[in-house]
Copies of this chain bind each other. A is one copy, B any other.
Amino acid sequence: MVIRTASTQDDLRRLNRARLLRRLHEGGSARRSDLVAFSGLNRSTVGVLVSELADAGLVTEAAGLPGQVGRPSLRVAPVRNSAVVIAFDLKVERTIVALVGLGGGEIWRREQRHKRGDYTPEQAVRHVMSLIKQSLRRAPEGAAWVGVGIGVPGVVDHADGLVRLAPNLGWSDVPLGALLRAALESEYGFVPHLSVSNDADLGALAEHVRGQGAVKRNLIYLSGEVGIGGGIIIDGRPMLGAGGFGGEVGHMVVNPVGTECRCGARGCWETEIGLDALVRAAGITDPEAGVADVLAAASAGSRTARGAIDKAGEWLGVGLANLVNLFNPEVIVLGGHLRLLYPLVSSTVLRQVHHALPAAREQARVEVPALKADSTLLGAAEAAFEGLLADPMAVIADSVHATAS
């Protein structure tokens, strides 16, 4: 077991400075006394560290409201326009981009459609680079550009951004991280912190930091689109596994006599509750149809559609009970099409979840995302900020001004 710790005074100072900035970025402005309590550091050390962050332009200090003893406590706030990241949610049929400032506030966003099943890695890179250029034009004057984060619906080696398999994009072994790194280097002569991650892992991250799991340490996020991905936070940290490939809940076999899955197994969870399966079971043949079409058909009286919804609810519950037994989460957040499906089938789902062992079941809630459809996008922003939050001074010193690009 390795305890992550600081070995020298310099390390310690850097870690503590980073902890304070992370606290402000994730939790918003705070009194100096809150930071003292949060960090366990003494008042003067907090003062020095905050001054260093203020000198770098990342935070401001202002007199707040008087405290209980009368003396106004200094209030420390992150400066949104001091540092920005560009976040992408690369979906099967569209790409969403957002420019996000320190503290998590969205500054600008845009969405572009592309054709399902006909989106090559080269197109995606060109597309991302063009959207980066557009985003930078909207960046506030003097902002440091500190990161790019990208969510992909597939299995990603997040150490180097190699997309091992994104079946619904038709990609396998696409070195998206390396391609983007080269393109950024060539365009800007500078590569900010770059993160390419699984969409569900990013959904889990965002819901953990700013959504349903803000005070929870154990959370599962399910991305539901064509496939079903899972992002898992255990004890406050992403559960990655050996290569970052953990959480492939969509290929958990729940029904060994079920439909054959693209992965070669039979009765994977996503063959029972994935969007394509749902649309097909609802008797809808339009290949562009989505969950809204299924819900519309059901509310228009289609028994087939209603039956498909109910069956998906049963299987959703069976799989969730497994996840409760396996991971003992505090909250499971249903993203993607499951977010829209859940309100119609919640009683069926919860009846199945009730089969989980009592100790774990009693601690688990099933919820829809607090960040609505933006969990992955905002998670990509959080991942992009990781470089800055790990070592603020070094990243600010190295970064380029977004607007100068």
Contact = CB atoms under 8 A, between A and B. Distances in A.
A137 to B, nearest CB: 32
B327 A246 contact: yes
B5 A5 contact: yes
A257 interface: yes
Interface in A1-44: 1-8, 12, 15-16, 18-19, 22, 26, 39-41
A340 interface: no
B321 A7 contact: no
A164 B241 contact: no
Contacts of A152: none
Interface in A341-394: 355-360, 363-364
Describe A's contact surface by its main secondary structure. Answer: loop
A263 B357 contact: yes
Contacts of A255: 256
B257 A257 contact: yes
A257 B240 CA distance: 32
List the number of copies, as a whole number: 2
A359 B243 contact: yes
Contacts of A5: 4-6, 12, 15-16, 19
A175 interface: no
Contacts of A247: 326, 328
A19 to B, nearest CB: 6
B1 A4 contact: no
Contact of A251 (B18, B165, B264, B357): B357
A167 to B, nearest CB: 10
Nearest to A155: B359
B359 A328 contact: no
A359 B245 contact: yes
B253 A318 contact: yes
Contacts of A242: 216-218, 328-330, 360, 363-364
A236 interface: yes
A277 to B, nearest CB: 16
Nearest to A45: B7
B245 A234 contact: no
A322 B253 contact: yes
Contacts of A132: none
A134 interface: no
Interface residues of A, number: 69
A328 B243 contact: yes
A241 B360 contact: yes
Interface string A231-259: 00011110111111111110111111100
A118 to B, nearest CB: 24
B245 A360 contact: yes
Interface string A217-238: 1100000000000100011110
Contacts of A235: 237, 239-240
A249 B363 contact: no
Contacts of A327: 239, 241, 246
A357 B246 contact: no
Contacts of A19: 3, 5
A47 to B, nearest CB: 15
A325 interface: yes
Contacts of A217: 242
A4 B4 contact: yes
Q: Sorted from nearest, which 10 A-B pairs have the closest CB atoms?
A: A241-B328, A246-B328, A265-B355, A248-B325, A7-B40, A245-B328, A164-B359, A245-B360, A242-B363, A245-B359
25 contacts: A1-B237, A3-B15, A5-B6, A5-B19, A6-B12, A8-B40, A157-B359, A164-B358, A216-B242, A218-B241, A235-B237, A242-B363, A244-B328, A245-B360, A246-B328, A247-B326, A248-B325, A248-B360, A249-B326, A251-B325, A253-B254, A253-B321, A256-B318, A257-B257, A263-B355
